[in-house]
Amino acid sequence: MPTTTGSSSLRRGRDAELTRARKRVEELRARIEHHDYRYYVLAAPEVSDAEYDALVRELAGLEQRFPELITKDSPTQRVGERPSTLFAPARHSEPLLSLDNAFDADELRAWFARVEKNLGTRGCPPVFCEPKIDGVSVAVVYERGRLVRAATRGDGFVGEDVTANARTIRSLPTRLRGSPPESLEIRGEVFLPVAEFERLNFELGSAGRPLFANPRNAAAGSLRQKDPKVTASRPLRVVFHGLVRVRGAVLETHGEALELFRALGLGVPAGARRCTSVGEVETYVRELEGRRHSFEHEMDGVVVKLDEYDACAELGATSKAPRWAIAFKFASEEQTTSLKDVRVSVGRTGVVTPFAVLEPVRIGGVTVSLATLHNEDEIARKDLRIGDTVVVRRAGDVIPEVVAPVPSVRTGAERRFTMPRRCPACDEPISRDAGEIASYCKNLGCPAQVLARLVHFASRSAMDVQHLGERTAATLIERGLVDDPADLFFLEVEDLSGLPGFGPRAAANLIAAIDEARARPLERLLVGLGIRHVGPRAARVLAEQFRSIEAVARAPEDELATVNGLGPVVARAVREFFERPETRRLIDDLRRGGVRPRESGPDRAGPLAGKTFVVTGTLATLSREEAKDRIEALGGRVASSVSRSTDYLVVGERAGSKLAAARRLGTTTMDEERFLDVLSRS
């Protein structure tokens, strides 16, 4: 009968699927176990959290579909891995569980729905939201106010006794303040501030030692040192986010626990907030993700936990995680990928910069396939080799960076990078002078340099020639129409029409844009010339003092050095530049081409007149100096610290105390996007 045939073929189909699933489950378990060992025991993970999570999720999904494949020792059924033998074992009084994750708003809402259902409440019970600090989990015991033990999480039941090392952490009080309860066990997170992580990696690399892939590994590695003196030399911090048990005090809510911790002199998560609706939690999550880089530690999400302990007790826990808390995970900012090649690019000053060609990888919603490697020494410092698996980070809008290799997965086929002997663009020798970090192609006529100089000349902060991007500049050079910036001013519409991508309209537009640039202020021309050490600020000082390019070109070195704080380095560079015969030719040609810089100075009646700005953190598209110049050019004032007279705080990545001060004073803040918008509209 057709139905029978149908169902038996269905069964056969399921059997085949089960066989496939069994194989995959086994594979996944082996991989997860391996990564657990690397992470928990060696504190040296090989894959990012996101990749690890994906493996666990796939395994959990298969086990859900085929429950017959679940075994007691599956990684989904356990809390963690075995502790190492470096430290004495420390049995936890309560198992230190992990947290379940929510990866999007739907999963977060589903968690709330489950909580409400299980508690039988209508609406959302009060919850606490906190940053999920990306550090090392610790359990700390105080008896009569004295620190008696600090232990890592280990497998959740037995951790490692790291008391001696933990005692070196200055934010961990050895004696509690105020009136401590008789006995207290608390959970917290040890972390290394991001700035300290960067400093530590720099030092390690300079000493030829392996780097840490991220601040968490650095914290774990520092806490698990054999010698507490090494731990002491690493500025670790600790904050506490949970009560395990207390004797001699009555605490009913998480909020009370955090208050008690504070009163006892213990750090608590910055930015914790009590919320009473799902909407409030969602707002908190969005806000925190937006400013995740303004914290001194890394965070990989938000932890949402019920405030009332009675409700927590009612919900209980699975073998792995409590039901009363959930971690909302942010998108990962770190991935591993393979370093396929290292190539070099040549800049306008002839600096030869190596860059990484990566197997494309998505990080924080953007595909990364290239990353600068700065210079030869930096590659050696990080011990990066072609063919390596590498950790790539892209924190917020910050340019992607190759942080470190994963040496443990090397096959032996990896190759060290050596700087090419000849320039890839002109085949002239590449050289590196004694005491210099950078390598140079010293051929001023090198096509790569000519192109980079032209693009710089036309760029927004210099002569701002609209419609002249890199591609057009390259075409003009290739066709022999332009050799140096002055040639632009001799171009005519007929020269351009017929070039690829140039209709009559585009040709006329470019010629009009070039014409407009003839009257740009002197300071912009000085920037456009690309004189070493002369950025917008020095250019403005020179323009204000000398008023014409000829006067700058004539000025003796000692006079230049004393102008408004320019100093000897800039003075030397300016003199050297104008003494070159090719510079003199270029200046003549610019004049013959009709370039007549107009007088300039800050626009005192500009659209930002009377407004005071402070800039904090790192901006992705402008240096601090450039931001200052742009504000001042529009008549605004730039101050160095936030006060009551500050109108706007421009907030970049990793903003710190200034942001806090602005919040206190109620100063208006704007992020980089908004700031650029204000500049372009003003």
Tokens read off for 209: 């030692």
Task: Supply the minimum distance, in Å, between the C-beta of residue 133 and ligand IVH.
Answer: 4
CB of 292 to ligand IVH, least distance (A): 13
Q: In DSSP terms, which residues pair with 328 in a beta bridge?
A: 102, 302
* Tokens 């910069």 found at: 353
Nearer to ligand IVH among residue 281 and residue 543 (C-beta): 281
Taking CB under 6 A as the rule, does residue 254 contact ligand IVH? Answer: no
Per CB under 6 A, the segment of 97-105, 221-229, 358-366, 622-630 that binds ligand IVH is 97-105
Q: 318 exposed, middle or buried (CB, 10 Å; 0-12, 13-18, 19+)?
A: exposed
Positions marked catalytic = 132
Among positions 29, 216, 241, 453, the unique one binding ligand IVH when judged by CB under 6 A: 241
> Binders of ligand IVH among 120-179, rule CB under 6 A?
130, 132-133, 137
Which residue minimizes CB distance to ligand IVH? 137
DSSP-derived letter for residue 375 is -
Shortest distance in whole angstroms from residue 31 CB to ligand IVH = 20
Q: Are 631 and 638 in contact (CB under 8 A)?
A: yes
The answer to whether 543 and 523 have CB atoms below 8 angstroms apart is yes
Which lies closer to ligand IVH via its Cβ, residue 215 or residue 242?
242
Phi/psi at 418 (5° precision): -125, 145
Which one, 241 or 394, has the nearer CB to ligand IVH?
Answer: 241
**Residue 560 CB neighbour total at 10 angstroms:** 24
- Across 406-558, the runs of DSSP E, i.e. the strands, are 415-416, 430-431, 439-441
Q: Fill in the per-residue mask, 261 to 280: x = in contact with ligand IVH (CB under 6 A), - = not in contact.
A: --------x-----------
* CB burial of residue 436 (10 Å; 0-12, 13-18, 19+): exposed
Give yes or no for residue 303 binding ligand IVH (CB under 6 A).
Answer: yes
Q: How far apart are CA 306 and CA 313, in angstroms?
A: 10
Phi, psi (rounded to 5 degrees) for 89: -70, 145
Q: How far is the CB of 622 from ligand IVH (least distance, A)?
A: 34
CB of 137 to ligand IVH, least distance (A): 3
- Name the minimum Å distance from CB 325 to ligand IVH: 5
Between the alpha carbon of residue 207 and those of residues 222, 263, 457, 618, the distances in Å are: 17, 42, 40, 28
Cβ neighbours, 10 Å, residue 649: 23
For ligand IVH, which residue of 185, 189, 298, 334 counts as binding (CB under 6 A)?
Answer: 189
Q: Nearer to ligand IVH by C-beta: 167 or 320?
A: 320
- Which tokens in the block code for residue 41? 């025991």
602 φ, ψ (degrees, to nearest 5): -60, 140
Tokens describing residue 445: 């006529």
- For the segment 352-381, give every residue that binds ligand IVH (CB under 6 A): none
Binding of ligand IVH at residue 391 (CB under 6 A)? no
User: Shortest Cβ distance from residue 662 to ligand IVH (Å)?
Assistant: 25
CA distance 378 to 206: 9
CB 118 to ligand IVH: min, Å: 17
Query: Do residues 302 and 198 make contact, with C-beta atoms less than 8 angstroms apart?
Result: no
Nearer of residues 325 and 368 to ligand IVH, judged by Cβ = 325
- Tell me the closest approach of the beta carbon of residue 163 to ligand IVH, in angstroms: 18
Cβ nearer to ligand IVH, comparing 130 with 307 = 130
Nearer to ligand IVH, 130 or 196 (CB): 130
Residue 98 in the binding site for ligand IVH (CB under 6 A): yes
- When the beta carbons of 324 and 417 are compared against ligand IVH, the nearer one is 324
CB of residue 159 to ligand IVH, shortest distance in Å: 11
394 neighbors 402 (Cβ within 8 angstroms):
no
Site map for ligand IVH, 416-445, x if CB under 6 A?
------------------------------
Kindly tell me which residue out of 32, 43, 99, 192 binds ligand IVH, with binding defined by CB under 6 A: 99
β-bridge pairing 146-152 and 136-143: antiparallel
Size of the site for ligand IVH (CB under 6 A): 15
Question: Which has the closest alpha carbon to 59: 105, 106, 24?
Answer: 24
Instruction: Tell me the CA distances in angstroms from 315 to 149, 306, 343, 551, one per residue in order.
Output: 29, 10, 56, 80
For ligand IVH, what does the binding mask look like between residues 313 and 342, x meaning CB under 6 A?
---------x--x-x---------------
CA 290 to chain centre: 13
List all residues 6 or more positions away from 238 whose beta carbon is below 8 Å from its beta carbon.
138, 140, 166, 169, 171, 172, 188, 189, 190, 191, 267
Residue 110, C-beta contacts closer than 8 angstroms, at least 6 positions apart = 102
Q: What is the amino acid identity at position 633?
A: A
Contacts with 369 (C-beta within 8 Å, 6 or more apart), sequence order = 357, 358, 359, 360, 361
By CB under 6 A, residue 97 contacts ligand IVH: yes
Nearer to ligand IVH, 80 or 528 (CB): 80
Least distance CB 320 / ligand IVH (angstroms)? 10
Looking up tokens 């497998």, which residue turns up? 155
Residue placing its CB nearer to ligand IVH in the complex, 306 or 651: 306
CB 88 within 8 A of CB 161: yes
Q: Of 278 and 325, which CB lies nearer to ligand IVH in the complex structure? A: 325
Q: Whose Cβ is closer to ligand IVH: residue 48's or residue 337's? A: 48
Cα 528 to Cα 512: distance, rounded to the nearest angstrom: 19
258 binds ligand IVH (CB under 6 A): no
Q: How far is the CB of 103 from ligand IVH (least distance, A)?
A: 13
- Considering the rule CB under 6 A, would residue 298 count as an interface residue with ligand IVH? no
Chosen residue from 215, 242, 597, 636 binding ligand IVH by CB under 6 A: 242
* Cα distance between residue 56 and residue 75, in whole Å: 8
The residues of the shown chain that bind ligand IVH, judged by CB under 6 A, are 97-99, 130, 132-133, 137, 189, 241-242, 269, 303, 322, 325, 327
